[in-house]
Amino acid sequence: MRIVVAGWLTYAGDETTCREIITGGAEHIASGRAEDGCVAYNWAIDPLEPGKIQVYEEWESEEALLNHFRGAPYAAMRSHLENWELTGFGVQLYSVSGVEPVYGNDGWPRREIFGVTLGD
């Protein structure tokens, strides 16, 4: 089953602080992306809230994510993030039972998602 890790971290400071964190952490992001079972791994500055970083990861399985948590790249990333003052966080795990495209062949959002159809 696919696993999504999504949420946010806030730091004392502003967008400049977040840019430093992300730029300095590029090697950690790249290491995460290179791990077996990683589908997506990204940190991004929130465009509306200075000091907030949005986190998104997608893993092929629970095992892949658990291996990530036990690996040296994860430990290095945690160590990197400890260089700044964390003021809050909300990061959750989501299990994904199905995956479908958002858009149909016509380029518009689909009217049916996982068997649920929007009425006219």
Residue 13: give the domain boundaries.
2-117
Ranges of the chain whose pLDDT falls below 70 = 120
Give backbone dihedrals phi and psi of 3, rounded to 5 degrees, phi first.
-125, 135
pLDDT, tens digit, 9 for 90 and up, residues 47-56: 999 899 999 9
* CATH code of 58's domain: 3.30.70.100
pLDDT of residue 120: 58
Give backbone dihedrals phi and psi of 66, rounded to 5 degrees, phi first.
-65, -40
Task: Provide the number of structural domains found in the chain.
Answer: 1
Kind and range of the H or E run holding 17: helix 15-24
pLDDT of residue 115: 86
The CA distances from residue 75 to 2, 81, 91, 102, 112, in Å, are: 23, 10, 17, 35, 41
pTM value is: 0.88
